[in-house]
Structure 1
Amino acid sequence: MELTYVICPEDAGLELLDILRIKLRLSMTQIRRLKRENGIFIRGESVYTNYRVSPGEPVSVYINEHAPEIPAEKGSLNIVYEDDWLMVVNKPRGVFTHPSRSRYSGTLMNFALAHILDTGGESCHVVNRLDRDTSGLILMTKSGYAKALCAHTDMEKRYTALVFGVPEKKADKIRLAIKRAREREMRRIAAPDGAAAVTRYQVLRTFRGFSLLDLVLETGRTHQIRVHLSTIGHPVLGDKLYGTPESLEMAAKLGAEPHMLHASRLQFAHPLTGRQLDLHCLPDWAQMLDNRWVWK
Protein backbone atom coordinates (compact mmCIF):
# COMPACT_ATOMS: atom_id res chain seq x y z
CA MET A 1 0.00 0.00 0.00
CA GLU A 2 1.33 3.45 -0.96
CA LEU A 3 0.78 6.57 1.15
CA THR A 4 1.65 9.98 -0.28
CA TYR A 5 1.92 13.51 1.04
CA VAL A 6 3.04 16.75 -0.64
CA ILE A 7 5.06 19.06 1.60
CA CYS A 8 3.22 22.33 2.37
CA PRO A 9 4.94 25.71 2.93
CA GLU A 10 4.30 25.47 6.67
CA ASP A 11 6.18 22.13 6.73
CA ALA A 12 9.40 23.67 5.36
CA GLY A 13 12.48 22.76 7.37
CA LEU A 14 10.87 19.94 9.32
CA GLU A 15 12.57 16.58 9.50
CA LEU A 16 10.96 13.87 7.43
CA LEU A 17 10.42 11.94 10.68
CA ASP A 18 8.00 14.67 11.81
CA ILE A 19 6.08 14.44 8.54
CA LEU A 20 5.73 10.69 8.90
CA ARG A 21 4.55 10.95 12.51
CA ILE A 22 2.31 14.03 12.32
CA LYS A 23 1.02 14.22 8.76
CA LEU A 24 0.86 10.53 7.84
CA ARG A 25 0.25 9.49 11.47
CA LEU A 26 2.58 6.52 11.31
CA SER A 27 3.66 4.84 14.53
CA MET A 28 7.34 4.58 15.43
CA THR A 29 7.08 0.82 14.92
CA GLN A 30 5.85 1.39 11.37
CA ILE A 31 8.55 3.99 10.72
CA ARG A 32 11.33 1.69 11.96
CA ARG A 33 10.03 -1.05 9.69
CA LEU A 34 9.99 1.35 6.72
CA LYS A 35 13.58 2.36 7.47
CA ARG A 36 14.71 -1.28 7.53
CA GLU A 37 12.94 -1.92 4.21
CA ASN A 38 14.10 1.35 2.59
CA GLY A 39 10.45 2.17 2.01
CA ILE A 40 10.56 5.99 2.37
CA PHE A 41 10.92 8.10 -0.79
CA ILE A 42 11.01 11.71 -1.96
CA ARG A 43 10.70 12.21 -5.71
CA GLY A 44 11.21 8.46 -6.11
CA GLU A 45 14.54 8.35 -4.25
CA SER A 46 15.03 6.57 -0.93
CA VAL A 47 15.81 9.03 1.89
CA TYR A 48 16.60 8.98 5.61
CA THR A 49 14.16 10.23 8.25
CA ASN A 50 16.47 13.12 9.25
CA TYR A 51 16.07 14.64 5.78
CA ARG A 52 14.89 18.30 5.90
CA VAL A 53 11.86 18.74 3.66
CA SER A 54 11.04 21.60 1.27
CA PRO A 55 7.65 22.83 -0.02
CA GLY A 56 6.31 20.91 -3.00
CA GLU A 57 8.31 17.74 -2.39
CA PRO A 58 6.22 14.56 -2.74
CA VAL A 59 6.72 12.04 0.06
CA SER A 60 5.85 8.39 -0.59
CA VAL A 61 5.98 5.41 1.73
CA TYR A 62 5.23 1.79 0.89
CA ILE A 63 3.64 -0.34 3.58
CA ASN A 64 3.54 -4.06 2.93
CA GLU A 65 0.06 -5.43 3.52
CA HIS A 66 -0.57 -9.14 3.82
CA ALA A 67 -3.99 -10.77 3.76
CA PRO A 68 -4.86 -12.59 7.00
CA GLU A 69 -4.04 -16.27 7.00
CA ILE A 70 -7.68 -17.27 6.73
CA PRO A 71 -9.65 -18.48 3.71
CA ALA A 72 -11.43 -15.84 1.66
CA GLU A 73 -14.96 -17.16 1.20
CA LYS A 74 -17.85 -15.92 -0.87
CA GLY A 75 -20.77 -15.09 1.39
CA SER A 76 -23.63 -12.68 1.93
CA LEU A 77 -22.55 -9.18 2.99
CA ASN A 78 -24.94 -6.36 3.84
CA ILE A 79 -22.60 -3.39 3.29
CA VAL A 80 -23.88 -0.18 4.86
CA TYR A 81 -20.84 1.97 3.97
CA GLU A 82 -17.65 1.43 1.97
CA ASP A 83 -14.72 3.46 0.64
CA ASP A 84 -11.07 2.81 -0.24
CA TRP A 85 -10.07 2.53 3.42
CA LEU A 86 -12.87 0.91 5.35
CA MET A 87 -16.29 -0.69 5.26
CA VAL A 88 -19.18 -1.04 7.70
CA VAL A 89 -21.23 -4.23 7.48
CA ASN A 90 -24.56 -5.19 9.06
CA LYS A 91 -23.81 -8.61 10.60
CA PRO A 92 -26.75 -11.00 10.80
CA ARG A 93 -27.55 -13.00 13.92
CA GLY A 94 -25.98 -16.45 14.09
CA VAL A 95 -22.74 -15.48 12.30
CA PHE A 96 -19.39 -15.22 14.09
CA THR A 97 -17.44 -12.00 13.57
CA HIS A 98 -14.03 -13.59 12.93
CA PRO A 99 -12.26 -16.97 12.96
CA SER A 100 -10.83 -18.57 16.07
CA ARG A 101 -8.66 -21.61 16.79
CA SER A 102 -11.66 -23.92 16.60
CA ARG A 103 -13.53 -22.07 13.84
CA TYR A 104 -11.52 -21.21 10.76
CA SER A 105 -14.18 -20.37 8.18
CA GLY A 106 -17.77 -19.27 7.69
CA THR A 107 -17.36 -15.99 9.57
CA LEU A 108 -18.11 -12.42 8.58
CA MET A 109 -14.38 -11.74 8.24
CA ASN A 110 -13.97 -14.59 5.73
CA PHE A 111 -16.76 -13.10 3.61
CA ALA A 112 -15.42 -9.55 3.93
CA LEU A 113 -11.89 -10.62 2.95
CA ALA A 114 -13.21 -12.21 -0.26
CA HIS A 115 -15.06 -9.00 -1.13
CA ILE A 116 -12.02 -6.80 -0.41
CA LEU A 117 -9.67 -8.98 -2.48
CA ASP A 118 -12.19 -9.05 -5.35
CA THR A 119 -12.35 -5.24 -5.38
CA GLY A 120 -8.59 -4.65 -5.42
CA GLY A 121 -7.87 -4.55 -1.69
CA GLU A 122 -5.15 -6.47 0.09
CA SER A 123 -6.23 -7.11 3.66
CA CYS A 124 -9.09 -7.12 6.16
CA HIS A 125 -9.09 -6.05 9.81
CA VAL A 126 -11.96 -6.04 12.32
CA VAL A 127 -12.22 -2.94 14.53
CA ASN A 128 -15.23 -3.85 16.68
CA ARG A 129 -16.68 -7.32 17.18
CA LEU A 130 -20.13 -8.59 18.10
CA ASP A 131 -21.24 -11.83 19.73
CA ARG A 132 -22.47 -14.52 17.34
CA ASP A 133 -26.15 -13.93 18.09
CA THR A 134 -25.92 -10.13 18.24
CA SER A 135 -26.65 -8.48 14.91
CA GLY A 136 -25.63 -5.05 13.67
CA LEU A 137 -22.88 -2.74 12.55
CA ILE A 138 -19.26 -3.86 12.44
CA LEU A 139 -16.41 -1.63 11.26
CA MET A 140 -13.69 -3.25 9.17
CA THR A 141 -10.62 -1.66 7.61
CA LYS A 142 -8.79 -2.61 4.44
CA SER A 143 -5.31 -2.10 5.90
CA GLY A 144 -3.48 -2.41 9.19
CA TYR A 145 -2.60 1.28 8.82
CA ALA A 146 -6.27 2.31 8.82
CA LYS A 147 -7.02 0.03 11.77
CA ALA A 148 -4.20 1.59 13.78
CA LEU A 149 -5.69 5.03 13.13
CA CYS A 150 -9.10 3.79 14.28
CA ALA A 151 -7.58 3.05 17.69
CA HIS A 152 -7.33 6.83 18.19
CA THR A 153 -10.84 7.56 16.91
CA ASP A 154 -13.73 8.13 19.31
CA MET A 155 -16.76 6.04 18.40
CA GLU A 156 -20.26 6.09 19.80
CA LYS A 157 -21.94 2.71 19.55
CA ARG A 158 -25.70 2.53 20.05
CA TYR A 159 -27.67 -0.66 20.48
CA THR A 160 -31.34 -1.55 20.28
CA ALA A 161 -32.74 -4.35 22.43
CA LEU A 162 -36.02 -6.00 23.33
CA VAL A 163 -35.94 -6.79 27.04
CA PHE A 164 -38.15 -8.67 29.45
CA GLY A 165 -40.43 -6.51 31.59
CA VAL A 166 -40.63 -2.73 31.89
CA PRO A 167 -37.78 -0.85 33.63
CA GLU A 168 -38.91 1.35 36.50
CA LYS A 169 -36.82 4.26 35.22
CA LYS A 170 -37.40 5.49 31.67
CA ALA A 171 -33.71 6.40 31.38
CA ASP A 172 -30.77 5.50 33.58
CA LYS A 173 -27.07 4.71 33.73
CA ILE A 174 -26.05 1.24 34.89
CA ARG A 175 -22.72 1.19 36.74
CA LEU A 176 -21.85 -2.40 37.58
CA ALA A 177 -18.36 -3.91 37.40
CA ILE A 178 -18.08 -7.16 35.44
CA LYS A 179 -15.88 -10.25 35.72
CA ARG A 180 -15.88 -13.89 34.62
CA ALA A 181 -18.20 -16.11 36.63
CA ARG A 182 -15.36 -18.66 36.83
CA GLU A 183 -11.94 -18.91 35.29
CA ARG A 184 -12.07 -20.14 31.67
CA GLU A 185 -15.87 -19.76 31.64
CA MET A 186 -17.66 -17.72 28.99
CA ARG A 187 -20.34 -16.40 31.33
CA ARG A 188 -19.81 -13.05 33.06
CA ILE A 189 -21.33 -11.67 36.26
CA ALA A 190 -21.64 -8.29 37.93
CA ALA A 191 -19.18 -8.15 40.85
CA PRO A 192 -17.56 -5.31 42.85
CA ASP A 193 -14.08 -6.69 42.15
CA GLY A 194 -14.64 -6.81 38.38
CA ALA A 195 -13.67 -4.36 35.65
CA ALA A 196 -15.58 -1.07 35.63
CA ALA A 197 -18.50 -1.07 33.18
CA VAL A 198 -21.08 1.61 32.36
CA THR A 199 -24.15 1.35 30.13
CA ARG A 200 -26.72 4.08 29.45
CA TYR A 201 -30.25 3.15 28.44
CA GLN A 202 -33.49 4.83 27.47
CA VAL A 203 -36.88 3.14 27.15
CA LEU A 204 -38.22 3.82 23.66
CA ARG A 205 -41.49 1.90 23.91
CA THR A 206 -43.25 -0.54 26.21
CA PHE A 207 -45.35 -3.52 25.15
CA ARG A 208 -47.23 -6.35 26.85
CA GLY A 209 -44.56 -7.53 29.25
CA PHE A 210 -41.47 -6.34 27.38
CA SER A 211 -39.76 -3.12 26.32
CA LEU A 212 -37.74 -1.64 23.48
CA LEU A 213 -34.53 0.03 24.69
CA ASP A 214 -31.87 2.28 23.19
CA LEU A 215 -28.47 1.64 24.78
CA VAL A 216 -25.07 3.32 24.65
CA LEU A 217 -21.83 1.74 25.85
CA GLU A 218 -19.45 3.94 27.82
CA THR A 219 -17.11 0.96 28.28
CA GLY A 220 -16.66 -2.17 26.21
CA ARG A 221 -16.66 -5.27 28.42
CA THR A 222 -17.51 -8.70 27.06
CA HIS A 223 -21.29 -9.31 27.21
CA GLN A 224 -21.65 -5.93 28.96
CA ILE A 225 -25.19 -5.05 27.85
CA ARG A 226 -26.45 -8.58 28.40
CA VAL A 227 -24.95 -8.81 31.90
CA HIS A 228 -26.16 -5.36 32.94
CA LEU A 229 -29.72 -5.85 31.75
CA SER A 230 -29.96 -9.30 33.29
CA THR A 231 -28.62 -8.03 36.61
CA ILE A 232 -31.27 -5.28 36.87
CA GLY A 233 -34.00 -7.82 36.13
CA HIS A 234 -34.61 -7.11 32.44
CA PRO A 235 -32.66 -9.66 30.39
CA VAL A 236 -32.55 -9.42 26.61
CA LEU A 237 -35.34 -11.53 25.14
CA GLY A 238 -34.01 -14.79 23.77
CA ASP A 239 -30.73 -14.62 25.70
CA LYS A 240 -30.11 -18.24 26.71
CA LEU A 241 -26.96 -17.43 28.68
CA TYR A 242 -28.30 -14.60 30.86
CA GLY A 243 -32.07 -14.99 30.55
CA THR A 244 -34.56 -16.28 33.13
CA PRO A 245 -37.17 -19.02 32.63
CA GLU A 246 -39.81 -16.28 32.38
CA SER A 247 -37.92 -14.23 29.80
CA LEU A 248 -37.12 -17.32 27.72
CA GLU A 249 -40.77 -18.41 27.82
CA MET A 250 -41.87 -15.00 26.56
CA ALA A 251 -39.16 -15.04 23.88
CA ALA A 252 -40.39 -18.42 22.65
CA LYS A 253 -43.95 -17.09 22.35
CA LEU A 254 -42.73 -14.07 20.39
CA GLY A 255 -40.36 -16.09 18.23
CA ALA A 256 -37.52 -14.01 19.66
CA GLU A 257 -34.65 -16.42 19.05
CA PRO A 258 -31.73 -15.97 19.09
CA HIS A 259 -31.48 -12.95 21.38
CA MET A 260 -32.90 -9.57 20.39
CA LEU A 261 -29.85 -7.31 20.65
CA HIS A 262 -28.74 -5.23 17.68
CA ALA A 263 -25.87 -2.76 17.14
CA SER A 264 -28.03 -0.17 15.43
CA ARG A 265 -25.86 2.94 15.11
CA LEU A 266 -22.18 3.82 14.74
CA GLN A 267 -20.91 7.41 14.85
CA PHE A 268 -17.26 8.37 14.32
CA ALA A 269 -14.90 10.62 12.40
CA HIS A 270 -13.33 8.90 9.41
CA PRO A 271 -9.72 8.17 10.49
CA LEU A 272 -8.27 9.27 7.12
CA THR A 273 -10.56 12.04 5.86
CA GLY A 274 -11.95 13.41 9.10
CA ARG A 275 -15.48 13.22 7.68
CA GLN A 276 -18.15 12.61 10.31
CA LEU A 277 -19.98 9.34 9.67
CA ASP A 278 -23.35 8.51 11.23
CA LEU A 279 -24.39 5.02 10.14
CA HIS A 280 -27.45 3.11 11.24
CA CYS A 281 -29.56 0.07 10.35
CA LEU A 282 -32.68 -1.64 11.65
CA PRO A 283 -32.63 -5.14 13.18
CA ASP A 284 -34.15 -8.00 11.24
CA TRP A 285 -36.77 -8.34 13.98
CA ALA A 286 -38.06 -4.76 13.62
CA GLN A 287 -41.06 -5.90 11.59
CA MET A 288 -42.24 -7.95 14.57
CA LEU A 289 -43.03 -4.70 16.36
CA ASP A 290 -45.52 -3.78 13.63
CA ASN A 291 -47.89 -6.49 14.85
CA ARG A 292 -50.70 -4.64 16.59
CA TRP A 293 -51.18 -7.20 19.33
CA VAL A 294 -47.83 -6.38 20.94
CA TRP A 295 -48.63 -2.71 21.51
CA LYS A 296 -49.83 -1.63 24.92
Structure 2
Amino acid sequence: MRKIISKSLNLEYNETKKGRLDTFLSTEISDFTRSQLQKFIKDGNVLVNDKEITKTGAKLTTGDKIIVNIPKEKPLEAIPENIPLDIVYEDEDVIVVNKPQGMVVHPAAGHPDKTLVNAILYHCQINDSDVIRPGIVHRIDKDTSGLLMIAKNNLAKQSLMKQLKEKSNLREYVAIVHGNFQEKTGRINAPLGRSKTDRKKQAVVEDGRHAVTHFTVLEQFENYSLLKLKLETGRTHQIRVHMKYIGHPVAGDPLYGPKNTLDGKGQFLHAKTLGFEHPRTHKWMEFSVEPPQIFLDTLAQLRHRQS
Protein backbone atom coordinates (compact mmCIF):
# COMPACT_ATOMS: atom_id res chain seq x y z
CA MET A 1 0.00 0.00 0.00
CA ARG A 2 1.31 3.43 -0.94
CA LYS A 3 2.57 5.44 2.03
CA ILE A 4 1.23 8.97 2.40
CA ILE A 5 4.14 11.23 3.34
CA SER A 6 3.72 14.75 4.71
CA LYS A 7 7.43 15.69 4.44
CA SER A 8 10.94 14.24 4.33
CA LEU A 9 13.99 15.14 6.40
CA ASN A 10 17.55 14.69 5.09
CA LEU A 11 20.26 14.08 7.69
CA GLU A 12 23.91 13.02 7.74
CA TYR A 13 25.71 11.09 10.46
CA ASN A 14 29.01 12.86 11.20
CA GLU A 15 30.11 11.17 14.43
CA THR A 16 33.42 9.29 14.42
CA LYS A 17 32.03 6.41 16.48
CA LYS A 18 29.21 4.13 15.40
CA GLY A 19 25.82 5.02 16.83
CA ARG A 20 22.25 3.70 17.02
CA LEU A 21 19.80 4.94 14.41
CA ASP A 22 16.98 5.66 16.88
CA THR A 23 19.32 7.48 19.28
CA PHE A 24 20.66 9.67 16.48
CA LEU A 25 17.16 10.57 15.25
CA SER A 26 15.96 11.43 18.77
CA THR A 27 18.83 13.92 19.18
CA GLU A 28 18.34 15.46 15.73
CA ILE A 29 14.54 15.63 15.55
CA SER A 30 12.80 17.35 18.47
CA ASP A 31 9.24 17.38 17.12
CA PHE A 32 8.68 13.67 17.85
CA THR A 33 9.26 11.41 20.83
CA ARG A 34 11.78 8.60 20.67
CA SER A 35 8.97 6.02 20.59
CA GLN A 36 7.36 7.83 17.64
CA LEU A 37 10.69 7.86 15.78
CA GLN A 38 11.16 4.17 16.52
CA LYS A 39 7.74 3.51 14.99
CA PHE A 40 8.77 5.46 11.87
CA ILE A 41 11.76 3.12 11.56
CA LYS A 42 9.74 -0.07 12.12
CA ASP A 43 7.14 1.08 9.57
CA GLY A 44 9.82 1.48 6.90
CA ASN A 45 9.81 5.27 6.83
CA VAL A 46 13.59 5.66 7.32
CA LEU A 47 16.23 5.14 4.63
CA VAL A 48 19.97 4.89 5.26
CA ASN A 49 22.03 5.36 2.11
CA ASP A 50 18.81 4.85 0.09
CA LYS A 51 18.12 1.48 1.78
CA GLU A 52 14.99 0.97 3.90
CA ILE A 53 15.93 0.20 7.51
CA THR A 54 13.41 -1.26 9.96
CA LYS A 55 15.73 -2.11 12.87
CA THR A 56 15.68 0.65 15.51
CA GLY A 57 19.15 -0.23 16.78
CA ALA A 58 20.78 -0.26 13.33
CA LYS A 59 24.34 1.08 13.51
CA LEU A 60 25.34 4.27 11.73
CA THR A 61 28.85 5.10 10.54
CA THR A 62 30.45 8.39 9.55
CA GLY A 63 29.02 9.83 6.35
CA ASP A 64 25.78 7.82 6.31
CA LYS A 65 22.92 9.67 4.61
CA ILE A 66 19.57 9.33 6.37
CA ILE A 67 16.16 10.18 4.96
CA VAL A 68 13.21 10.26 7.35
CA ASN A 69 9.82 10.21 5.66
CA ILE A 70 7.32 11.72 8.08
CA PRO A 71 3.96 9.99 7.53
CA LYS A 72 0.83 12.08 7.23
CA GLU A 73 -1.04 11.95 10.50
CA LYS A 74 -4.58 10.65 10.68
CA PRO A 75 -7.06 13.22 12.03
CA LEU A 76 -7.39 12.81 15.79
CA GLU A 77 -10.74 11.60 17.05
CA ALA A 78 -11.83 10.80 20.58
CA ILE A 79 -13.70 7.49 20.38
CA PRO A 80 -15.44 5.94 23.42
CA GLU A 81 -13.48 2.98 24.84
CA ASN A 82 -14.47 0.58 27.60
CA ILE A 83 -11.65 1.40 30.01
CA PRO A 84 -12.15 1.13 33.81
CA LEU A 85 -12.42 4.42 35.68
CA ASP A 86 -11.88 5.23 39.36
CA ILE A 87 -14.73 7.71 39.82
CA VAL A 88 -14.53 9.63 43.09
CA TYR A 89 -17.64 11.79 42.51
CA GLU A 90 -20.20 12.33 39.75
CA ASP A 91 -23.40 14.29 39.17
CA GLU A 92 -25.15 15.89 36.18
CA ASP A 93 -22.47 18.59 35.86
CA VAL A 94 -19.07 17.26 36.93
CA ILE A 95 -17.03 14.10 37.33
CA VAL A 96 -14.02 13.79 39.62
CA VAL A 97 -11.74 10.89 38.71
CA ASN A 98 -8.57 9.41 40.17
CA LYS A 99 -6.30 9.02 37.14
CA PRO A 100 -3.77 6.18 37.31
CA GLN A 101 -0.10 6.49 36.41
CA GLY A 102 0.53 5.71 32.76
CA MET A 103 -2.75 7.13 31.40
CA VAL A 104 -2.73 10.15 29.08
CA VAL A 105 -5.56 12.64 29.67
CA HIS A 106 -6.68 13.22 26.06
CA PRO A 107 -5.78 12.03 22.54
CA ALA A 108 -2.71 13.63 20.96
CA ALA A 109 0.04 12.75 18.51
CA GLY A 110 1.59 9.50 19.70
CA HIS A 111 -1.38 8.76 21.99
CA PRO A 112 -4.48 8.54 19.77
CA ASP A 113 -6.45 6.24 22.07
CA LYS A 114 -6.68 4.55 25.50
CA THR A 115 -6.78 7.98 27.15
CA LEU A 116 -8.89 9.27 30.03
CA VAL A 117 -11.14 11.06 27.53
CA ASN A 118 -11.79 7.79 25.64
CA ALA A 119 -12.80 6.19 28.93
CA ILE A 120 -15.01 9.12 30.00
CA LEU A 121 -16.87 9.17 26.66
CA TYR A 122 -17.74 5.48 27.08
CA HIS A 123 -18.93 6.10 30.64
CA CYS A 124 -21.19 9.10 29.99
CA GLN A 125 -22.19 11.87 27.60
CA ILE A 126 -20.13 15.06 27.55
CA ASN A 127 -21.82 18.05 25.92
CA ASP A 128 -18.82 19.97 24.57
CA SER A 129 -17.89 21.24 21.10
CA ASP A 130 -14.24 20.28 21.69
CA VAL A 131 -14.10 16.84 20.08
CA ILE A 132 -10.55 15.99 21.22
CA ARG A 133 -10.64 17.33 24.80
CA PRO A 134 -14.35 17.24 25.72
CA GLY A 135 -14.88 18.32 29.32
CA ILE A 136 -11.19 18.77 30.05
CA VAL A 137 -10.41 21.94 32.01
CA HIS A 138 -7.02 20.95 33.43
CA ARG A 139 -4.54 18.11 32.98
CA ILE A 140 -1.96 16.09 34.85
CA ASP A 141 0.98 14.38 33.17
CA LYS A 142 0.81 10.80 31.91
CA ASP A 143 2.95 9.39 34.74
CA THR A 144 1.44 11.59 37.45
CA SER A 145 -1.49 10.02 39.30
CA GLY A 146 -4.41 11.64 41.03
CA LEU A 147 -7.51 13.81 40.90
CA LEU A 148 -8.99 15.57 37.89
CA MET A 149 -12.27 17.45 37.57
CA ILE A 150 -14.13 17.05 34.28
CA ALA A 151 -17.04 19.18 33.07
CA LYS A 152 -20.07 17.39 31.61
CA ASN A 153 -21.62 20.51 30.04
CA ASN A 154 -20.88 24.10 29.05
CA LEU A 155 -22.15 25.57 32.34
CA ALA A 156 -19.71 23.43 34.30
CA LYS A 157 -16.82 24.00 31.90
CA GLN A 158 -17.11 27.78 32.00
CA SER A 159 -17.38 27.80 35.79
CA LEU A 160 -14.42 25.46 36.40
CA MET A 161 -12.23 27.28 33.88
CA LYS A 162 -13.09 30.60 35.54
CA GLN A 163 -12.10 29.20 38.95
CA LEU A 164 -8.78 28.01 37.54
CA LYS A 165 -8.13 31.43 36.02
CA GLU A 166 -9.03 33.22 39.26
CA LYS A 167 -7.01 30.68 41.33
CA SER A 168 -10.01 30.09 43.59
CA ASN A 169 -9.88 26.29 43.43
CA LEU A 170 -7.59 23.99 45.41
CA ARG A 171 -4.97 21.66 43.90
CA GLU A 172 -2.56 19.94 46.27
CA TYR A 173 -0.02 17.26 45.41
CA VAL A 174 2.34 15.03 47.34
CA ALA A 175 5.76 14.16 45.96
CA ILE A 176 8.91 12.33 46.91
CA VAL A 177 11.86 14.50 45.90
CA HIS A 178 15.63 14.23 46.01
CA GLY A 179 17.54 15.77 48.90
CA ASN A 180 16.68 17.31 52.27
CA PHE A 181 15.54 20.78 53.33
CA GLN A 182 16.54 23.18 56.09
CA GLU A 183 13.31 25.16 55.73
CA LYS A 184 9.88 23.64 56.45
CA THR A 185 7.95 25.67 53.86
CA GLY A 186 8.76 27.57 50.72
CA ARG A 187 7.36 29.48 47.75
CA ILE A 188 8.81 29.09 44.25
CA ASN A 189 8.07 32.04 41.97
CA ALA A 190 9.80 31.39 38.65
CA PRO A 191 8.39 31.93 35.12
CA LEU A 192 8.09 28.87 32.90
CA GLY A 193 8.32 28.37 29.14
CA ARG A 194 9.69 25.99 26.55
CA SER A 195 13.36 25.14 27.05
CA LYS A 196 15.73 26.98 24.71
CA THR A 197 17.92 23.86 24.37
CA ASP A 198 15.40 21.00 24.35
CA ARG A 199 11.92 21.54 22.88
CA LYS A 200 10.57 18.49 24.69
CA LYS A 201 11.15 20.19 28.03
CA GLN A 202 9.85 23.17 29.95
CA ALA A 203 12.28 25.38 31.84
CA VAL A 204 12.56 28.49 33.98
CA VAL A 205 13.00 31.29 31.42
CA GLU A 206 12.98 35.08 31.79
CA ASP A 207 10.21 35.61 29.25
CA GLY A 208 8.12 32.66 30.51
CA ARG A 209 4.62 32.62 31.97
CA HIS A 210 4.06 33.51 35.62
CA ALA A 211 4.26 30.34 37.75
CA VAL A 212 4.09 29.89 41.53
CA THR A 213 4.35 26.69 43.58
CA HIS A 214 4.13 26.43 47.39
CA PHE A 215 5.69 23.52 49.26
CA THR A 216 5.62 22.10 52.78
CA VAL A 217 8.06 19.46 54.01
CA LEU A 218 6.09 16.56 55.52
CA GLU A 219 8.89 14.03 56.18
CA GLN A 220 12.61 13.71 55.53
CA PHE A 221 14.58 10.55 54.87
CA GLU A 222 18.13 9.74 53.85
CA ASN A 223 18.62 11.62 50.55
CA TYR A 224 14.86 12.08 49.97
CA SER A 225 11.95 14.16 51.27
CA LEU A 226 8.16 13.91 51.16
CA LEU A 227 6.51 17.21 50.23
CA LYS A 228 3.02 18.66 50.01
CA LEU A 229 2.83 21.01 47.04
CA LYS A 230 0.11 23.55 46.31
CA LEU A 231 -0.33 25.01 42.85
CA GLU A 232 -1.07 28.73 42.61
CA THR A 233 -0.81 28.52 38.80
CA GLY A 234 -1.04 25.48 36.53
CA ARG A 235 1.68 25.52 33.88
CA THR A 236 2.89 22.51 31.92
CA HIS A 237 5.22 20.35 34.09
CA GLN A 238 5.16 23.15 36.70
CA ILE A 239 5.95 21.14 39.83
CA ARG A 240 8.53 18.98 38.06
CA VAL A 241 10.41 21.97 36.62
CA HIS A 242 10.18 24.08 39.77
CA MET A 243 11.53 21.27 41.94
CA LYS A 244 14.44 20.73 39.57
CA TYR A 245 15.04 24.50 39.59
CA ILE A 246 15.55 24.56 43.37
CA GLY A 247 17.77 21.46 43.28
CA HIS A 248 15.21 18.92 44.49
CA PRO A 249 13.89 17.10 41.40
CA VAL A 250 10.96 14.73 41.80
CA ALA A 251 12.18 11.15 42.34
CA GLY A 252 11.64 8.91 39.33
CA ASP A 253 11.16 11.82 36.93
CA PRO A 254 12.50 10.56 33.56
CA LEU A 255 12.62 14.03 32.02
CA TYR A 256 13.86 16.35 34.77
CA GLY A 257 15.38 14.05 37.38
CA PRO A 258 18.69 12.18 37.74
CA LYS A 259 19.11 8.60 36.52
CA ASN A 260 20.12 7.42 39.98
CA THR A 261 16.70 7.52 41.62
CA LEU A 262 13.91 5.46 43.16
CA ASP A 263 12.47 2.57 41.18
CA GLY A 264 8.95 3.23 39.99
CA LYS A 265 6.66 3.80 37.02
CA GLY A 266 7.59 7.44 36.48
CA GLN A 267 7.76 10.44 38.78
CA PHE A 268 6.58 10.02 42.39
CA LEU A 269 4.03 12.81 42.07
CA HIS A 270 0.37 12.47 43.02
CA ALA A 271 -2.53 14.96 42.79
CA LYS A 272 -3.95 14.16 46.20
CA THR A 273 -6.47 16.92 46.99
CA LEU A 274 -8.86 18.81 44.72
CA GLY A 275 -11.34 21.48 45.73
CA PHE A 276 -13.74 23.69 43.75
CA GLU A 277 -17.07 25.49 43.91
CA HIS A 278 -19.81 23.41 42.33
CA PRO A 279 -20.87 25.10 39.06
CA ARG A 280 -24.61 24.81 39.76
CA THR A 281 -25.07 24.70 43.55
CA HIS A 282 -22.04 26.92 44.34
CA LYS A 283 -21.30 24.61 47.25
CA TRP A 284 -17.60 24.10 48.06
CA MET A 285 -16.56 20.53 47.25
CA GLU A 286 -13.27 18.93 48.29
CA PHE A 287 -11.88 15.48 47.57
CA SER A 288 -8.75 13.61 48.58
CA VAL A 289 -7.30 10.24 47.50
CA GLU A 290 -4.24 8.35 48.65
CA PRO A 291 -1.28 7.85 46.28
CA PRO A 292 -0.98 4.58 44.33
CA GLN A 293 0.41 1.49 46.03
CA ILE A 294 3.88 1.84 44.49
CA PHE A 295 4.12 5.33 46.05
CA LEU A 296 3.00 4.06 49.47
CA ASP A 297 5.34 1.05 49.31
CA THR A 298 8.28 3.29 48.45
CA LEU A 299 7.46 5.57 51.40
CA ALA A 300 7.37 2.54 53.68
CA GLN A 301 10.80 1.45 52.42
CA LEU A 302 12.26 4.95 53.02
CA ARG A 303 10.84 4.99 56.54
CA HIS A 304 12.23 1.51 57.23
CA ARG A 305 15.71 2.65 56.21
CA GLN A 306 15.48 5.46 58.76
CA SER A 307 14.58 3.14 61.65
| TM-score, structure 1 normalization | 0.70
Counterpart residue identity of residue 88, structure 1: V
In 2, Cα distance between equivalents of 1:101 and 1:241 = 18
What 5-or-longer segments of structure 1 have no aligned partner?
1-67
2:160 partner amino acid: C
| Equivalent residue letter for 1:271 | P
Residue in 2 that maps onto 1:287: 297
Aligned equivalent of 2:260, options 232, 239, 249: 249
Question: Residue 162 of structure 1 aligns with which residue?
Answer: 176
Out of 119, 138, 152, the residue aligned to residue 128 of structure 1 is 138
Q: Are positions 1:148 and 2:158 aligned together?
A: yes
1:191 aligns with: 205
Where does residue 99 of structure 2 map in the other structure?
A: 91
Q: Return the offset for 1:122.
A: 5.1
The TM-score normalised by the length of structure 2 is 0.67
Q: C-alpha distance in 2, partners of 1:103/1:198? A: 29
Q: Deviations over 1:243-288 (max 9, x none)?
A: 12xxx3231xxx2331101111011110111111110111111233
Is residue 182 from structure 1 mapped to residue 193 from structure 2 by the alignment? no
2:234 pairs with one of 220, 226, 230: 220
Which one is further off, 234-243 or 139-148? 139-148
| Separation (CA, whole Å) in 2 of partners of 1:151 and 1:207 | 38
Shift of 1:182: 2.9
**8 Å CA contact retained: 2:273, 2:288:** yes
Task: Spell out the pairing of 1:94-105 with structure 2 (5 A cutoff).
Answer: 94-105=102-113
- Which one is further off, 188-197 or 213-222? 188-197
Counterpart of 1:208? Answer: 222
Q: Which residue of 1 aligns with 2:279?
A: 271
Secondary structure of the structure 2 residue equivalent to 1:264: strand
1:41-120 mapped onto 2 (5 Å cutoff): 69-117=77-125
Moved more, 221-230 or 175-184: 175-184
**Structure 1 residue 173: Cα displacement:** 0.4
Consecutive unaligned residues of structure 2, counting only runs of 5 or more, are 1-75, 129-133
- Which ranges of 4 or more aligned residues in structure 1 deviate by more than 4 Å? 121-124
Matching of residues 10-29 of structure 1 within 5 Å: none
Determine the C-alpha separation between the residues in 2 that align with 1:281 and 1:205: 19
Separation (CA, whole Å) in 2 of partners of 1:163 and 1:134: 14
- Larger gyration radius, structure 1 or structure 2: 1
